[in-house]
Structures are given as structure tokens and as C-alpha cells.
Amino acid sequence: MNTAGKEDLGTADTAEAQYVMAKTSVWWDIENCQVPKGLDAHGIAQNISSALKKMNYCGRVSIFAYGDTSGIPHVIQHALNSTGIELHHVPAGEFLKPFYGVKDASDKKILVDMLFWAFDNPAPSNIMLISGDRDFSNALHKLSLRRYNILLAHPPKASAPLSQAATTVWLWTSLLAGGNPLIRGKVKTSQLVANASTSSNVMSSPPHNQFPDPPRSGPLHARQPYLNPDPFVNNRDPNAARPGPSNMRPLCPNAIRRHRQEKLERALLLLILLVFMFMILATVNSN
């Protein structure tokens, strides 16, 4: 048996106690991680189970493979079905390309069935994904926050967010041979939940003065004159009398002096008019 990855076993932690006897579902994107040419497909299921047992995952294992079986040789299909792997045919013909493309068909089918399985099998449970597609990273991160233990096997080139969602990671070629994982994340599921709740609290209550009001640019505008409806008042005087409470800005002495002078002038004009009226009345009475 190939012992690929054996040198990394010292840095890979075994299963936590709550996941040792838990169920393990394996979701295999057979289009992204294909069966290598010349490999006997009859031993794939056994090697996957052996790799899991090495990491102390001893619960029941279920393996589901998804892909367009029209491109898989019948010998491999028969070998997978005869060893307990459920092979799901996801057609990706030309008539489906305008809707979701060839590759997305299998991804969406895996996501739907994986979430249904998680709904029927509450945590703690183990979920292994065999794929390198980053489209699965969001769902895996959310499942890990709900106390599902995420395992991953990917080809040499895989998405970084996808690898960060898993606690244990294999190379696909190593898992095929029943080998050891590469790494195991040091952050436990409980720590992920605590970090998620802490970050949500921080985002929900921003610190005081996080977004202060910007300073006013330029000098303050000069006080605009009030247009007094009285035609005898200088309407362009910025210190002219204005309506409002008594605590408003007081008038300057010059404005008060001019205002009194205008009142005296109007009083004198009215007095002169009255004198002329009395003189006219006196003249009329004398005649």
C-alpha cells in the first residue's frame, strides 16, 4: 500500500472524541477528481475508509460520487457500484450548457444533497468533500460553524478558502492509496464559533466617533441683511431690526441711533402736517 503523506502524520491531529464514532459522508466530485488511468477502482472505497480510520474516524462511512457517467468507462462504473459507492449520473449535455454549464451541474447537485444529508444527520458528524472547486467553500465554512467536522481531499491545485474550511486535508492521490493527510487545522470548531460570534458583535456595535462629521471648509458666511418691510428703514443694513426672541443678537448703537432719528423725523413731519391742517381750518372758520 502506498504510504504517501506518511511524513506529515506527526503534525496531523487525530479525530476529536465527539467525531470518533460519528457518521462520515463522503461527497466525491468525480469530474474534478477523476479516477487515474490504470488504477483498480475496486479498492477506492476501502482505501478511503482506511485513511479515515488512521485518523481515528471509526464511524459508518457513506460515499457518494457525482458526475456525467457518459465519460466514465463502464468498468470503473461497475467497480464503484459494486464496492458500495453510490454513483449519481448528472447529465451535462449541450442542452444544459446555457443554464448552468457542464461543471456547475455536478457542483449544485452535490451541494443540495450534502445540505439535505446535514439536515437529516445533526452534528456532531463528519463531512468529507473530494473536490478542489472553490464553489463549495462557503457551504463548508457554514457547516463547520454548526459543529460539523469538515474533511477535504483535493487535487494538487485547489482553492485556498476551500482548504481553510477543513480540519483535515488529503491530497487526492494520497487518499486514493489510503495514505495520511497533509495538515489538520489548529483552529477547533468551538473556536470558530466563538470567533464568529465575537466578530458579529463587533460589527453590530461600531465604536463611538468611528465616522465623525467632517470639518466645515472655509470661513463662516457673513450675516445676511434682513429686509424690513418698513420703507423708512434701511433694508440693506445687516444690523437692522429682526423679528424673534429677545435673546437674539442685539443691535449695535449706531443702528439704534439711526432708528431713533428716523422716528423723530416722522414725528416732526406729522406735526407739520397737523399745523397746516389747523391753519386751514382756522382760515375757513374766519371767513
**Please, which residues have CB within 8 angstroms of residue 172's CB and are 6 or more apart in sequence?**
33, 130, 132, 153, 154, 155
**Please, which residues have CB within 8 angstroms of residue 239's CB and are 6 or more apart in sequence?**
251, 252, 254, 255
What residues does each domain of the chain span?
17-177, 257-286
Kindly report, residue by residue over 62-120, the tens digit of the pLDDT. 999 999 988 899 999 999 999 999 999 988 654 455 544 455 788 889 999 999 999 99
More confident residue, 192 or 101: 101
Model pTM greater than 0.75? Answer: no
Kindly report, residue by residue over 237-266, the tens digit of the pLDDT. 555 555 544 444 555 556 566 667 777 888
Query: Is the bond leading into 124 cis (omega within 30 degrees of zero)?
Result: yes
More confident residue, 221 or 78: 78
pLDDT band at 236 (very low <50, low <70, confident <90, very high): low
* Other Cβ atoms within 10 Å of 115 Cβ, number: 13
Rounded distance, CA 105 to CA 102, Å?
Answer: 6
Mean pLDDT value of segment 44-72 = 94
The pLDDT, as a whole number, for residue 255 is 59
* Other Cβ atoms within 10 Å of 43 Cβ, number: 16
The pLDDT, as a whole number, for residue 287 is 63
Mean pLDDT value of segment 27-45 = 93
Asked which of 79-83, 161-165, 217-221, 276-280 is least confident by mean pLDDT, the reply is 217-221
User: 3.40.50.1820, 3.40.50.2300, 3.90.1150.10, 3.40.50.1010: which CATH number matches 17-177?
Assistant: 3.40.50.1010
pLDDT band at 137 (very low <50, low <70, confident <90, very high): very high
For 97, phi then psi, to 5°, come to -60, -40
Mean pLDDT value of segment 168-181 = 93
